[in-house]
Amino acid sequence: MNARYVTHLECSLTGEFHDAEVLQGVSRAGKPLLVRYDLARLAREWPRDALAARPRTLWRYRELLPLPLDVPPVSLGEDMTPLLPLPRLAAATGVGEVLVKDEGRLPTGSFKARGQALAVSIAKWLGVRAMGIPTNGNAGAAMAAYCAAAGITAHCYCPADTPEANLREIECFGASLTRVDGMIDDCGKLVAAGEREGRWFSCATASRARRRWGWS
């Protein structure tokens, strides 16, 4: 059986195909790449009731994630997070129901842990040895944590007004931290420059904006 159900990566603007087993950032058009799957084969080979028997973590959906099934993920325990009702807020605002998703239960205390768990797992699989990110805090802390677990060097560039708690969390995981006298786009330019020089692979959320900001 094929080690995963991914068929290719596809430019979200042009539909151009990209190789899913080659390290990629954004498409040649500077847009995010979408993962495409062989859903027909998945439906034939994967019984739906198998999902209910699996642990309630991010990785219960392995067949619909781009990491090959035979490659161990870099995981810190990405549990499912609950939707909690807020009845008093619902009553005060006059709406039927208000729910809040408690993402603080994830390993680094924010939803960024899910994306970074997968990003770092893919990076490790494809041989990345260093990663860089412009961050206001949470994404950098998550990348630093997963890079530490993966044995990948992490470089985090933060605006000067990033909360001290986030900076300490990044440093706690052993990442290289640079405080930038500027905004997040200034951090992004520095990360993009380092990527061009071959110093790391950029894990910038805003990498989709490279053409707009002239980072590429």
Question: Are 41 and 117 contained in the same domain?
Answer: no
Within a domain: 183: yes
pLDDT of the residue at 17: 95
Q: What is the CATH number of the domain that holds 116?
A: 3.40.50.1100
Residues 46 and 121 in one domain: no
Are residue 132 and residue 200 in the same domain, yes or no?
A: yes
Residue 73 pLDDT more than 80? Answer: yes
Give the model confidence (pLDDT) of 102-132 as tens digits. 999 999 999 999 999 999 999 999 999 999 9
Model pLDDT for residues 181-207, shown as the tens digit of each residue: 999 999 999 999 999 999 999 998 745
Is residue 23 one of the residues assigned to a domain? yes
Dihedral-angle region of residue 157 (phi above 0 means left; psi in -120 to 50 means alpha; beta otherwise): beta
Same domain, 123 and 212: yes
CA distance 216 to 196: 8
- pLDDT-based confidence at residue 26 (cuts at 50, 70, 90): confident
Q: Domain for residue 172, yes or no?
A: yes
CA distances from residue 57 to 25, 27, 82, 132, 139 in whole angstroms, order as listed: 26, 30, 12, 27, 20
Residue 40: give the domain boundaries: 1-54
Residues 27 and 121 in one domain: no
Domain-located, residue 46: yes
The whole-chain average pLDDT of the chain stands at: 91
Same structural domain, 129 and 208: yes
pLDDT of the residue at 210: 37
Whether residue 101 is contained in a domain is answered as no
Q: Assess if residue 94 is contained within a domain.
A: no
> Band of the pLDDT at 144, cuts 50, 70, 90?
very high
Average pLDDT over residues 23-29: 88
Task: Give the type of residue at 50.
Answer: A
Q: Is the pLDDT of residue 36 over 50?
A: yes
Considering the domain architecture, whether residues 27 and 118 belong to the same structural domain is answered as: no
Q: Tally the domains of the chain.
A: 2
